[in-house]
Amino acid sequence: MESSRLVSIIFFVYIVILSIGSINCKDNNNLITNQAALFVFGDSLFDAGNNNYIDTVSSFRSNMWPYGQTTFKVPTGRLSDGRLIPDFIAENAWLPLIPPNLQPSNGNNQFTYGVSFASAGAGALVESFGGMAINLGKQLNNFKDVEKRLRSELGDADTKRVFSRAVYLFHIGVNDYFYPFSANSSTFQSNSKEKFVDFVIGNTTSVIKTLYKMGGRKFGFLNVGPYECAPSSLIRDRTKIGSCFKPVTELIDMHNKKFPDVLRRLQRELSGFRYALHDYHSSLSERINNPSKYGFKEGKRACCGSGPLRGINTCGNRRGPSQGYELCENVTDYLFFDSSHLTEKAHRQIAELIWGGSPNVTGPYNLKALFEFRLT
């Protein structure tokens, strides 16, 4: 208990030091960062707590115990027991924790080293869980609001400098591919599967191009992970408990085959466009199927939840106390914290691959290279 408290104190002091060290005063009024900023877009894999500030359903929130139990000791809105991938990326980049964009306490100085626009349940398509999450298009609009605030505070030149040096990190698409199997999707029903995937990638590409026009040059992406084999998916067919949910597999595989070609095309067409693409599907599949190789005891059973494989999304009594939930004793034994979301330990491992992975894992650049790259 004492060692855990000491680690928490050290981590808090570290964040305070980074927060102070990451800013410089300019003209006694403006605050600009020394480091390249990190702007985060996506879904629950990256949501640092934006859904705390919107009207949504409990399944898209994590503002209840035991979420946050490992590092923060309180729920923060992150769908994990602790830190997320962007938190570790920020640490490696010598940035403070990247807060949710909707956090009321954010000042303009906060935006100069980055914020997260990600929202649990978000998709690239407007109809995917519409009204319950901040879709990718709205996340872009929120970024434009940040641009206005920075231009007002810093002026055009320094705002352009912040945006051109920044790294833009994305994980999006998985909710688009699951949504048609939980609700009626007119887009899915009226188009071929390939065309549907093209719409998802097309909307994502449109956002990337807009960020590029606004000054963005350095982008990080994760392809879509094997969530058809997450604990929640493994119990969808009650006659085949433990089997992956195959109907969504074809869509995910198609996305992951097409998306790299799109990024290569953007690199040819957009001068100065640089990107890192992490093969998240492979890295997570490896851990699901070979957990002991990566220090886990459980790759398919969640730490928190109920039912078979704890795959029912009841963690934190999000469906009411009458249903209850189970919580594992040692979260570090588990790959998944709840029925669909990873533990802090898993996030740390994936973040290291994104940050410093070789080109066959994260390429053509990794995030370390992108952060170190300086535009002339």
The pLDDT tens digits of the residues spanning 32-51 come to 556 899 999 999 999 999 99
Q: Tell me the pLDDT tens digit for each residue of 140-178.
A: 999 999 999 999 999 999 999 999 999 999 999 999 999
Q: For residues 275-281, give the mean pLDDT.
A: 98
pLDDT at position 25 is 36
145 is catalytic: no
Comparing 136 with 31, the larger pLDDT belongs to: 136
44 is catalytic: yes
Q: For residues 122-137, give the mean pLDDT.
A: 95
Instruction: Indicate the pTM of the whole model.
Output: 0.91
CA–CA dist 156, 117 (Å, integer): 22
Q: For residues 39-67, give the mean pLDDT.
A: 92
pLDDT at position 319 is 75
Our CA angle for 189, 191, 194, nearest 5°, is 120
**Run of H or E including 353:** helix 344-356
Is a pLDDT exceeding 70 seen at residue 15? Answer: no
Is a pLDDT exceeding 50 seen at residue 24? Answer: no
Q: Exactly one of 22, 43, 44, 176 is catalytic; name it.
A: 44
55 is catalytic: no
pLDDT at position 81 is 98
Q: What pLDDT band is residue 80 in, cutting at 50, 70 and 90?
A: very high
Is a pLDDT exceeding 70 seen at residue 273? Answer: yes
Is a pLDDT exceeding 70 seen at residue 30? Answer: no
Q: Exactly one of 255, 279, 338, 339 is catalytic; name it.
A: 338
Cα first-last separation, the chain? 50
> In degrees rounded to 5, what are phi and psi of residue 167?
-110, 135
Structure tokens belonging to residue 332: 């570090």
Q: Please, are residues 245 and 233 in contact by the beta-carbon 8 Å criterion?
A: yes
Q: For residues 203-217, give the mean pLDDT.
A: 98
pLDDT at position 361 is 96
137-163 as b/e: b if 16+ CB within 10 A: bebbebbeebbeebeebbeeebbbbbb
pLDDT at position 182 is 87
Is a pLDDT exceeding 50 seen at residue 20? Answer: no
Task: Give the chain's mean pLDDT.
Answer: 90
Q: Exactly one of 171, 255, 281, 341 is catalytic; name it.
A: 341
Is a pLDDT exceeding 90 seen at residue 5? Answer: no
pLDDT at position 31 is 53
Q: What pLDDT band is residue 195 in, cutting at 50, 70 and 90?
A: very high
